[in-house]
A and B are shown apart, each in its own frame.
Chain A
Amino acid sequence: MSKMVMTNKGKIADLRSADEIKAERRKGRTGVYLVVPGMLVLFLFFALPVIVLLSMSLYARPEGAEIGEFVPALEFGNYVTVLSAYWSELVRSFGFALIATVLALLIGYPMAYLVAVRLRQHGLLQGILLVLLIAPFFSSFILRTQAWKQILADEGWVAQTLKLIAVLPADGHLTATPFAVVAGLTYNFLPFMVLPIYANLGRLDTRLLEASGDLYASPVTSFFKVTLPLSAPGVFAGTLLTFIPAAGDYVNAALLGNNRNTTMIGQVIDSRFFKVIDYPGAAALSFVLMLSILILVTLYIRRFGTKELM
């Protein structure tokens, strides 16, 4: 599909479509200069470290060595050791992350919908809510997590009220429970869920909703048949951006959890590195975590993925 147009210089030029031009990429050294420095950084400080981590996970500790002293080896037993010791923390991390992702979706979708669709005609209010959505990024998340800890503390009014109406048993707690950790994860990663969905719903053509109403769909049906399927790429991106960091997080578990049934894999990796000084064990656990997330994400992309993701 080429069209002939008259250009400023008076000659007839061959006007190609935007896609045709995009498909044709330039050759040349400029491209190399643009890409190489950044890629070098990524290679030296991401790819190489992951390889170092992999090799470190196979290090062995010689007999009678001092703490923190390891020798290069191919000690696959490290994986067996850490996995048998910490598989429950690993499973729990994924479980918590999954629940938090689902909760964040249930809470975040209505937020995104409210701002992007319902308030489309109300520019100022839409702007205000968008500000409130972005601004928490700039106040320290540890400070906010700590605030939750104090709000939900045993002597706080939330816990007291819940005890008064007998939702919470008299000796029950809100903090130092799995509930608190999942709530913290949900809270902290909520904006990562909302923003991609917001960006997607912002592009929703509301005329399609009029069309579906015209074709006998009630507002609820229109939502499930038109709005939700069309926003799938946003939901997809949001769930990934929530699940991945949540699975590896340990701040919420450390601040809002206990030592019995809330320990997450991130805490274990941290303490293996810094408290126990078991570098190979920590490296092995990190690698297992990375690999399991990659496998889960790949499966997820295969199942629900869309080309609009990246």
Chain B
Amino acid sequence: MSTNTAETSRKPTVPPRSEGADLELKGITKRFAEFIAVKDLDLTVPSGTFFALLGPSGCGKSTTLRMIAGLDAPSEGEILIGGKNVTSLPSHQREVNTVFQSYALFPHMTVLENVAFGLKRKKDKQAMEKAREGLKMVELDHLANRRPEQLSGGQQQRVALARALVNRPQVLLLDEPLGALDMKLRRQMQFELKAIQTEVGLTFIHVTHDQEEAMTMADVVAVMNEGRIEQMGAPRDLYELPKTAFVANFLGKSNLMRAQVVGQQEGLIEAQTAGCKVLIPVERAVQHEGDIVIGVRPEKLHLHREAPQESTGYNELSGQVIDVSFTGTTTEYLIEVPGIGRIGTFSQNRGQQPAQMGDTVYLSWDSAHSFGLAGDEVVDAGVDQT
């Protein structure tokens, strides 16, 4: 890609900031003939937020987006933009614009005509100038007179973005806009999108199934599953303290173990799993008694060749290495812990190789890193879903 250097060293020339508007969904339900895509969804996105709707395909995130855009009508509920009820407004009367997954650039128009399309419909007298400005912002002003088909995927993506942005909508919707790009271009566009959003200050709603994309870009992430929002919050909060097995598995990886609560002391829940004692901070557990599920992220685990010394506040397990895979920066291990199952962890590549296939190893982690989920969770919910 010869345009790479130009694309990374960009300095967006951005028109004056404009505030987006709050978006509110109240009790939104969408039923299709055979299934319910979205179930009783309540959601408030404050103005100026970069909001990500994250979930596997078929979770209802795209349907939600299409309802906000006015392309599908909700079966029940209300959509409010800036406090105004727009539920029955057709898409062309809503101050909302979309960057489509397929880009949907008009093939019979030039790049400039594409970008000016919305402004012209709104009878903006300066449509052409504003469209040029918009193209400048995405650094494509030199391609204004090309046809979309003559552009690369990344360029088309930016035309689609400019076409939506120049209208200064109250809410900008992005429907997996980076899905068709290769990994490298994708990372770069994530960075640029975020930069543009920060500078323009519009409300962005970004739909994606890529958890890394959602976490790097969004201020707030909502994880959707089967038509509902499982959990919503800042990316770090979601990652560090998932409230359901689905979130724990879909957002990054987790080791989940079934356990029984046996007691509680000094703000810590004590639970028993396969003969081992495990501690969880009370405020990090969804449920405080009976059967629960304990979770810990793989990177929080320490791997030892010999039994570590007893230390307070640490949880310990031991098992046998059943799989080792070398990825370059890390080596990943799969450890079979009797009575619990398989636990994954990894170690940074600092030249050593701490364990080999078949070795008996010891795992320990700071109990402050454990989290507790409800006992009726399906332990592998959300694993390997995209």
B101-121 toward A: CB 8 Å interface, digit per residue (1/0)? 010111110000000011001
Query: Can you name 29 A-B pairs with beta carbons within 8 Å?
Result: A205-B102, A207-B100, A207-B104, A210-B91, A210-B100, A210-B104, A211-B100, A211-B104, A211-B105, A213-B92, A214-B71, A214-B91, A214-B92, A214-B97, A214-B98, A215-B92, A215-B117, A215-B118, A216-B93, A216-B118, A216-B122, A217-B92, A217-B117, A217-B121, A218-B92, A219-B92, A221-B92, A226-B106, A232-B108
| Known interface pairs A207-B102, A217-B117; 20 further A-B residue pairs with C-beta atoms within 8 A, sorted by A's residue number | A207-B100, A207-B104, A208-B107, A210-B91, A211-B100, A211-B104, A211-B105, A213-B71, A213-B91, A214-B71, A215-B164, A215-B167, A216-B92, A216-B121, A216-B122, A218-B90, A221-B92, A226-B108, A229-B108, A230-B108
Task: Across the A-B interface, give the 4 residue pairs with the lowest CB-CB distance, nearest first.
Answer: A215-B118, A211-B104, A216-B121, A213-B91
* A207 to B71 Cα, complex, angstroms: 10
Which one of A205, A208, A211, A219 contacts B98 once the chains associate, using CB atoms below 8 Å?
Answer: A211
B-side contacts of A267, CB under 8 Å: none
Q: Does B257 contact A (CB under 8 A)?
A: no
Q: Does B79 contact A (CB under 8 A)?
A: no
A203-243 toward B: CB 8 Å interface, digit per residue (1/0)? 00101101111111111011001100110100000000000
Interface residues on B, range: 20 to 34
Please judge, given known A-B contacts A208-B106, A226-B106, whether A214 and B96 are in contact too, CB under 8 Å: yes
User: In the complex, what's the smallest C-beta–C-beta distance from B128 to chain A, in angstroms?
Assistant: 15
User: In the complex, what's the smallest C-beta–C-beta distance from A202 to chain B, in angstroms?
Assistant: 16
User: In the complex, what's the smallest C-beta–C-beta distance from A122 to chain B, in angstroms?
Assistant: 13
Q: Does B206 contact A (CB under 8 A)?
A: no
Which one of B71, B107, B121 contacts A210 once the chains associate, using CB atoms below 8 Å?
Answer: B71
Residues of chain A having any CB pair with chain B under 8 Å: 205, 207-208, 210-219, 221-222, 225-226, 229-230, 232
A-side contacts of B167, CB under 8 Å: 215-216
* A208 to B118 Cα, complex, angstroms: 13
* A255 to B105 Cα, complex, angstroms: 50
A-side contacts of B71, CB under 8 Å: 210, 213-214
Question: Which of A205, A214, A217: most chain B Cβ within 10 A?
Answer: A214
User: In the complex, what's the smallest C-beta–C-beta distance from A56 to chain B, in angstroms?
Assistant: 47
Q: Does B69 contact A (CB under 8 A)?
A: yes
* A108 to B336 Cα, complex, angstroms: 70
User: In the complex, what's the smallest C-beta–C-beta distance from B243 to chain A, in angstroms?
Assistant: 34
B-side contacts of A207, CB under 8 Å: 100, 102, 104
User: In the complex, what's the smallest C-beta–C-beta distance from B227 to chain A, in angstroms?
Assistant: 22
Q: Does B158 contact A (CB under 8 A)?
A: no
A-side contacts of B117, CB under 8 Å: 212, 215, 217, 225
* A215 to B98 Cα, complex, angstroms: 8
Q: Does B163 contact A (CB under 8 A)?
A: yes
Which of chain A's residues has its CB closest to B72's CB? A210
**CB pair B106 A211 closer than 8 Å:** yes
B-side contacts of A221, CB under 8 Å: 92, 121
**CB pair A215 B97 closer than 8 Å:** yes
User: In the complex, what's the smallest C-beta–C-beta distance from A199 to chain B, in angstroms?
Assistant: 17
User: In the complex, what's the smallest C-beta–C-beta distance from A214 to chain B, in angstroms?
Assistant: 5
**CB pair B100 A215 closer than 8 Å:** no
Question: Which of A213, A219, A229, A230: most chain B Cβ within 10 A?
Answer: A213
Which of chain A's residues has its CB closest to B96's CB? A214
Interface residues of B in 276-294 (CB under 8 A from A): none
User: In the complex, what's the smallest C-beta–C-beta distance from A159 to chain B, in angstroms?
Assistant: 45
User: In the complex, what's the smallest C-beta–C-beta distance from A67 to chain B, in angstroms?
Assistant: 59
**CB pair A208 B104 closer than 8 Å:** yes
Interface residues of B in 163-187 (CB under 8 A from A): 163-164, 167
Which of chain A's residues has its CB closest to B113's CB? A225
* A43 to B60 Cα, complex, angstroms: 62
A-side contacts of B106, CB under 8 Å: 208, 211-212, 226, 230
Which of chain A's residues has its CB closest to B71's CB? A210
A-side contacts of B108, CB under 8 Å: 226, 229-230, 232
A-side contacts of B96, CB under 8 Å: 214
**CB pair A213 B90 closer than 8 Å:** yes
* A226 to B117 Cα, complex, angstroms: 11
* A55 to B93 Cα, complex, angstroms: 67
Which of chain B's residues has its CB closest to A225's CB? B117
A-side contacts of B164, CB under 8 Å: 214-215
B-side contacts of A216, CB under 8 Å: 92-93, 118, 121-122, 167
Question: Which of B90, B91, B93, B117: most chain A Cβ within 10 A?
Answer: B91
Interface residues of B in 315-346 (CB under 8 A from A): none
Question: Which of B92, B105, B164, B167: most chain A Cβ within 10 A?
Answer: B92
B-side contacts of A229, CB under 8 Å: 108
* A218 to B94 Cα, complex, angstroms: 11
